[in-house]
């Protein structure tokens, strides 16, 4: 957690951890050991509302576990070597099947390099129906917050979900220079081959090989029109970074 984050609500910081994570630790109730906790590293993404998503094989032990008992938790942590000072969030709830094709495609865009391995028929998308979130913002900051404070109301972003794929494709095809400037000048991540992989109400995600970064919006985005407004604002700011 940075100095600038100290006054931000724990719910906002937890949501940012979920939005920026590409892996998380999934804990399930293990059927093979009589109910002992079983933790595994999984690829993850999230919906426009920030609800956690996983795309998992039916053959995996953790999948068998939560199909038998849907109670799970997912741990999100910012990388670092001093665990006591790490920001992390544990999302507690129940795992549910997710048949939303838009979210399935969103997941694959964010994990394009591994998408071939997730194209088999036994892989299915699941959404964690969060019930509470335990947030630790480093030493001395510990708080349990309601899931409703972390996961947004998805019904407000239906139009954005419908438009997301077209917006991402348009930005990569016609505004690759702007996407590169977002990463280079706003996220301070140099490189030429950045692409946009996702867009949600609070920002856009960028990818370069195995590197990920994120640029936030100033205003909440709900549809294609408001998304365009924010993306234009970012493009202008990225040309003159001192304005951000």
CATH number of the domain residue 193 falls in: 3.20.180.10
The total number of residues written for the chain in this structure = 244
Closest CA to 244 of 208, 207, 205, 203: 203
Last residue of a domain, one of 127, 152, 177: 152
Query: Kind and range of the H or E element at 145?
Result: strand 142-146
Closest CA to 43 of 60, 65, 30, 66: 60
Rounded to a whole number of angstroms, the CA Rg of the chain reads 18
Q: Are 99 and 166 contained in the same domain?
A: no
Closest CA to 181 of 126, 244, 105, 100: 244
Decide: residue 212, CB within 10 A, 0-12 exposed, 13-18 middle, 19+ buried.
middle
Quick: pLDDT tens for 25-81.
999 999 999 999 999 999 999 999 999 999 999 999 999 999 999 999 999 997 665
Q: Are 234 and 138 contained in the same domain?
A: no
Q: Are 147 and 44 contained in the same domain?
A: yes
Q: What's the pLDDT score for residue 141?
A: 86
Average of per-residue pLDDT across 223-239: 97
Provide the β-strand partners of residue 88: 77, 136
The crossing angle, in degrees rounded to 10, of helices 224-239 and 158-174 is 40
Last residue of a domain, one of 125, 152, 179: 152
Q: Are 144 and 166 contained in the same domain?
A: no
CA distance 184 to 140: 34
Last residue of a domain, one of 105, 128, 152: 152
Q: Reply yes or no on whether the pLDDT at 244 is more than 50.
A: no
Containing structural domain, residue 46: 3-152
Q: What's the pLDDT score for residue 84?
A: 67
- Computed over every residue of the chain, the mean pLDDT equals 93
| β-strands 87-97, 71-77 pairing | antiparallel
Q: Are 88 and 147 contained in the same domain?
A: yes
Q: Are 10 and 131 contained in the same domain?
A: yes
Q: Are 19 and 78 contained in the same domain?
A: yes
CATH classification of the domain holding 88: 2.30.110.10
* Overall number of domains in the chain: 2
Q: Are 85 and 203 contained in the same domain?
A: no
Q: Are 109 and 134 contained in the same domain?
A: yes
Q: Are 148 and 174 contained in the same domain?
A: no
Q: What's the pLDDT score for residue 225?
A: 98
Cα atoms in the Cβ-side hemisphere of radius 13 Å centred on 120: 9
Q: Are 130 and 227 contained in the same domain?
A: no
pLDDT class of 83 with cuts at 50, 70, 90: low
Q: Are 133 and 202 contained in the same domain?
A: no
Q: Reply yes or no on whether the pLDDT at 99 is more than 80.
A: yes
């Amino acid at each position: 957690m940075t100095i600038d984050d100290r006054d931000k609500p724990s719910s906002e910081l937890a949501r940012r951890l979920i939005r920026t994570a590409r892996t998380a630790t999934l804990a399930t109730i293990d059927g093979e050991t009589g109910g002992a906790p079983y933790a595994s590293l999984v690829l993850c993404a999230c919906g426009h509302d920030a609800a956690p998503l996983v795309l998992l094989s039916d053959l995996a032990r953790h999948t068998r576990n939560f199909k038998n008992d849907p109670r799970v938790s997912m741990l999100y942590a910012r990388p670092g070597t001093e665990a006591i000072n790490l920001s992390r969030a544990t999302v507690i709830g129940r795992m549910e099947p997710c048949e939303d094709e838009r979210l399935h495609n969103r997941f694959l865009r964010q994990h394009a390099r591994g998408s071939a391995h997730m194209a088999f028929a036994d892989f299915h998308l699941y959404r964690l129906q969060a019930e509470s979130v335990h947030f630790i913002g480093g030493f001395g900051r510990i708080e349990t917050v309601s899931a409703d404070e972390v996961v947004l109301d998805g019904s407000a972003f239906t139009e954005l979900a419908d438009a997301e794929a077209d917006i991402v494709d348009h930005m990569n095809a016609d505004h690759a220079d702007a996407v590169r400037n977002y990463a280079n000048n706003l996220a301070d991540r140099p490189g030429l081959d950045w692409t946009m992989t996702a867009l949600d109400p609070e920002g856009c995600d960028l990818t370069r090989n195995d590197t990920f970064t994120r640029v936030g919006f100033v205003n909440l985005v709900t549809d294609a029109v408001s998304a365009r407004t924010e993306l234009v604002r970012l493009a202008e700011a990225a040309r003159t970074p001192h304005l951000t």
